[in-house]
Amino acid sequence: GQNIDQPTEMTATEGAIVQINCTYQTSGFNGLFWYQQHAGEAPTFLSYNVLDGLEEKGRFSSFLSRSKGYSYLLLKELQMKDSASYLCAVRDSNYQLIWGAGTKLIIKP
Amino acid sequence: DAGITQSPRHKVTETGTPVTLRCHQTENHRYMYWYRQDPGHGLRLIHYSYGVKDTDKGEVSDGYSVSRSKTEDFLLTLESATSSQTSVYFCAISEREDSSYEQYFGPGTRLTVT
């Protein structure tokens, strides 16, 4: 079967750095996406990785290792507005997105 | 923001009644998707469309049907609603399904079946 694993919840302090991990086992791989979802709102796109390595976009970076079936999202200089759920999704061999259950990130002052 | 709306935004209905949710886009994107989101689960694909009158089933399609008669509209119908279909339903659109083309999501419909 297909499976995406992420921690259910993480807590971090304002101004700090946090790393959210995602491991996957899917039928095929055609890219990995990270989305942010604030409570009661729609998911919004953060990043895309298809090749191994790090993609940096401002305070957010995303890393991929295809051989290990592993990705992480790194958030720097955390702000209170970063409190949200972070969703990892893999595009499989049928080009469908398989979603993890999401990681709820709680930021404390 | 991508032009994508959903209606209604909230609905309470009784078990056994039919329910139709509407997704409307102004982006002229080819691909449209219906997902449901439940606590402890990732987004789960119900049905998707790859063009007018072209639809296919997703992971959790039982009890749901869809129609797409125009590029801009994708309807999801619960033929006889059950309490297990209480969920938040998201519509998404995408220009293409390959490469880095991401999916854009509508605001969601919160459906409660009593």
Chain A closest-CA separation from residue B108 CA (Å): 7
Residue B95: both structure tokens together: 């220009």
Which pLDDT score is estimated for B1? 56
Residues of B in contact with A45 (CB under 8 A): 102-104
Residue B7: both structure tokens together: 């209606």
Residues of A in contact with B100 (CB under 8 A): 31, 48, 50
* B positions 53-112 inside 8 Å of A (CB): 58, 90, 97-100, 102-108
Q: Which positions of chain B have pLDDT values less than 70?
A: 1-2
Chain B closest-CA separation from residue A98 CA (Å): 8
Closest CA to B7 of B114, B19, B26: B19
CB-closest option in B42, B102, B106 to A99: B42
Which pLDDT score is estimated for A98? 95
Are residues A45 and B102, on separate chains, in Cβ contact within 8 Å? yes
Interface residues from chain A to B (CB-CB < 8 Å): 4, 30-31, 33, 41-45, 48, 50, 87, 89, 91, 95-102
CB-closest option in B42, B103, B108 to A4: B42
Q: What is the dihedral of CA B45, B95, A84, A32, to 10 degrees?
A: 80
In whole angstroms, give the CA distance from residue A71 to residue A6.
10
The H or E element that residue B70 is part of is strand B64-70
Which pLDDT score is estimated for B2? 62
Which pLDDT score is estimated for B100? 81
Which pLDDT score is estimated for B96? 85
In whole angstroms, give the CA distance from residue A107 to residue B73.
38
Are residues B105 and A50, on separate chains, in Cβ contact within 8 Å? no
Q: What is the pLDDT of residues A27-82, one digit of tens each?
A: 999 999 999 999 999 999 999 999 999 999 999 999 999 999 999 999 999 999 99
Chain A closest-CA separation from residue B8 CA (Å): 15
Which pLDDT score is estimated for B97? 81
Which pLDDT score is estimated for B99? 76
Are residues A101 and B104, on separate chains, in Cβ contact within 8 Å? no
pLDDT at A1 over 80: no
Are residues A42 and B105, on separate chains, in Cβ contact within 8 Å? yes
Whether the link from the prior residue into A109 is cis, omega within 30° of 0, is no
